Amino acid sequence: MSDEAKAKAEDEAVTIPAQSDGSAGTATLTEGAARGETLLKVTGLQKHFPIKKGLLQRQVGAVRAVDGIDFEVRSGETLGVVGESGCGKSTMGRLITRLLEPTAGKVEFEGKDITHLGVGGMRPLRRDVQMIFQDPYSSLNPRHTIGTIVSAPFKLQGVEPEGGIKKEVQRLLSVVGLNPEHYNRYPHEFSGGQRQRIGIARALALNPKLVVADEPVSALDVSIQAQVVNLLDDLQQELGLTYVIIAHDLSVVRHVSDRIAVMYLGKIMELADRDLLYKSPMHPYTKALMSAVPIPDPARKAAKSERILLKGDVPSPISPPSGCRFHTRCWKATQICATTEPPLKELRPGQQVACHHPENFEDQAPQDVVLLSDAKEAAELVAEDALAESARTSAAVAAEVEAAETEAAQAEAPEAEGDTEAAEKAAESGKRSTESAKPTPESVKTAPEDGEKSTGTPKKSTGDAESTESAESAESADEEPPAKEK
């Protein structure tokens, strides 16, 4: 009850400035959320879709589409969200625009909690938060003219722009690069790219602060994609828009985004500034995802060695893997990955990663060195060069950090330098995980894991042992099924 009252009060608070239009909108933008301030804040956001079965529609489980994510969108920036199908990125988009009701967590827009606002409570916010959809063919009502479609937001919000709705709509059409005289035409008279422009014009009608675009270009032809990407770019520059762009295409996301979130099975795996993410990805999944993108350069045809192939398919979001969700397909996964979920930590300024054994950085769980059997299978599909490089960079970073640490503090930890350090750490951790082995390359111990026998080689000593192994496996890869189906 009190919540409702509160929501109502808040509604009014928002509605009052919303009464004045247009120019006032930009005014709030400058005063309310200056560039760089947090516009949208998401904490612990969850969305579980219940699965019901039987006559009585009992709930037998849930699709955990979004399963606890935190991020912020700052005013004026573009946050890109990438991931494979089923990773929850579209659900996330619908949650932050409140087209869906979150199961748990909190969504704050300009400091105001909008998590559980009802339709009425959301109405004033609909001006500020707009969405662009993937399919330009089905997101426009075929029976309405372009004029009607683009002017609908004005009518719904009861806003009368200066000079009348028609004039404003025609201005919007020319802003997105359409002929204003097409006001009375119907969607079927336009091509896919033009329809997407209409969708953008509609989204921009009320001068929104945040535009959430779900796969805005993936249904378009290559040459048209570029037109729309450029249009989004220009509009951001001119209107100071903030974007959340959801897409599966990593090259498009890199092109448009300032920061990028990589999602996998309802979780954010890595959230980083664009250049950091693409130059030195830390999460193995990010790395695999990027290496999988085919490069339009025939000279790299032979450079297959850089590729990291992931084995099998994304597991079901109904029962996601324990611990780190990526551990079933990760070539670096150890015991801790199967049991403990890594938190999303800012390891480097501007780069948050949820991983125990990040690439390009110091290992977060160096005591845990026994690879899971899954990881060994996965490693067989990773190109040798990639493995070697990853080992090199990790070792280099670790050494660097190690050196810095020993210098700074008089180490209470009796760690030796160089290669033996890992060995000691592992030995130390022996009391926790009895199955972890001494990191000599020869030692192959068995580790009970899910009732399965799994052999482990020490992680740090990738050098010779690992590369010969992957050389062998390269031959046997043909017979070896690359995936483990459930």
Partner 1 sequence: MTELSKSGAAVGEPTGTSAAPSAFLEVRDLKVHFPTDDGLVKSVDGLSFQLERGKTLGIVGESGSGKSVTSLGIMGLHTAGQYGKRKAQISGEIWLDGTELLSADPDHVRKLRGREMAMIFQDPLSALHPYYTIGQQIVEAYRIHHDVDKKTAKRRAVEMLDRVGIPQPDKRVDSYPHEFSGGMRQRAMIAMSLVNNPELLIADEPTTALDVTVQAQILDLIRDLQKEFGSAVIIITHDLGVVAELADDLLVMYGGRCVERGPAEKVFYEPRHPYTWGLLGSMPRLDRDQQERLIPVKGSPPSLINLPSGCAFNPRCPYADVPKDDVTRTVRPELTEVGSKHWAACHMSQEQRERIWTEEIAPKL
Helix or strand or coil: residue 179?
Answer: coil
| C-alpha–C-alpha distance, residues 345 and 91, integer Å | 23
Single residue of 255, 348, 438, 445 touching partner 1 by CB under 8 A: 255
Confirm or reject binding of residue 350 to partner 1 (CB under 8 A). no
Confirm or reject binding of residue 291 to partner 1 (CB under 8 A). yes
Beta bridge partners of 45: 69
Confirm or reject binding of residue 229 to partner 1 (CB under 8 A). yes
State residue 233 phi and psi, 5-degree precision. Answer: -60, -50
Q: How far is the CB of 250 from partner 1 (least distance, A)?
A: 6
| C-alpha–C-alpha distance, residues 151 and 165, integer Å | 7
Single residue of 142, 298, 349, 451 touching partner 1 by CB under 8 A: 298
CB atoms within 10 A of CB 445: 15
Contacts with partner 1 by CB under 8 A: the residue count is 53
Confirm or reject binding of residue 179 to partner 1 (CB under 8 A). no
Q: How deeply is 169 buried, as exposed, middle or buried, from its count of CB atoms within 10 A (0-12, 13-18, 19+)? A: buried
Nearer to partner 1, 234 or 417 (CB): 234
Q: How deeply is 241 buried, as exposed, middle or buried, from its count of CB atoms within 10 A (0-12, 13-18, 19+)? A: buried
CA atoms 20, 25, 27, 33: torsion sign: positive
Single residue of 3, 31, 238, 297 touching partner 1 by CB under 8 A: 297
- Nearest to 292, CA basis, from 381, 394, 213: 381
Confirm or reject binding of residue 438 to partner 1 (CB under 8 A). no
Nearer to partner 1, 108 or 249 (CB): 249
Confirm or reject binding of residue 245 to partner 1 (CB under 8 A). no
Confirm or reject binding of residue 238 to partner 1 (CB under 8 A). no
Q: Are 261 and 78 in contact (CB under 8 A)?
A: no
What's CA 379's distance to the chain center, in Å?
Answer: 24
End-to-end, the C-alpha distance of the chain in Å comes to 47
The stretch among 68-76, 217-225, 338-346, 358-366 that binds partner 1 (CB under 8 A) is 217-225
- Nearest to 253, CA basis, from 72, 37, 83: 83
The stretch among 61-69, 99-107, 134-142, 243-251 that binds partner 1 (CB under 8 A) is 243-251
Confirm or reject binding of residue 169 to partner 1 (CB under 8 A). no
CA distances from 395 to 70, 363, 483 (A): 30, 9, 29
Single residue of 191, 406, 434, 443 touching partner 1 by CB under 8 A: 191
Confirm or reject binding of residue 182 to partner 1 (CB under 8 A). no
Nearer to partner 1, 151 or 390 (CB): 390
Single residue of 134, 139, 225, 351 touching partner 1 by CB under 8 A: 225
Confirm or reject binding of residue 164 to partner 1 (CB under 8 A). no
Confirm or reject binding of residue 452 to partner 1 (CB under 8 A). no
The owner of tokens 């894991």 is: 449
Q: How far is the CB of 260 from partner 1 (least distance, A)?
A: 12
Confirm or reject binding of residue 481 to partner 1 (CB under 8 A). yes
Nearer to partner 1, 295 or 444 (CB): 295
The stretch among 251-259, 346-354, 422-430, 443-451 that binds partner 1 (CB under 8 A) is 251-259
| C-alpha–C-alpha distance, residues 169 and 221, integer Å | 26
Q: Are 323 and 265 in contact (CB under 8 A)?
A: no
- Nearest to 377, CA basis, from 321, 413, 330, 429: 330
**Sheet architecture: strand order including 38-53:** 58-74, 38-53, 104-109, 112-113
| C-alpha–C-alpha distance, residues 458 and 438, integer Å | 7
Confirm or reject binding of residue 314 to partner 1 (CB under 8 A). yes
**Residues 333, 335, 341, 347: what is their CA dihedral angle, to the nearest 10 degrees?**
-60
Nearer to partner 1, 2 or 85 (CB): 85
Identify residues 194-213 at the interface with partner 1 (CB under 8 A). Answer: 194
Confirm or reject binding of residue 189 to partner 1 (CB under 8 A). no
The stretch among 28-36, 58-66, 110-118, 289-297 that binds partner 1 (CB under 8 A) is 289-297
Single residue of 148, 251, 339, 473 touching partner 1 by CB under 8 A: 251
Confirm or reject binding of residue 193 to partner 1 (CB under 8 A). yes
Residue 441 has, within 13 A of its CA and on its CB side, a CA count of 10
Confirm or reject binding of residue 51 to partner 1 (CB under 8 A). no
| Residue 71: both structure tokens together | 């991020």
Identify residues 73-112 at the interface with partner 1 (CB under 8 A). Answer: 84-85
The owner of tokens 């997105």 is: 176
Single residue of 70, 233, 415, 449 touching partner 1 by CB under 8 A: 233
Chain contacts with partner 1 (rule: CB under 8 A): 84-85, 191-194, 221-227, 229-230, 233, 248-252, 254-255, 274-275, 278, 288-301, 304, 307, 309-310, 313-314, 478-479, 481-485
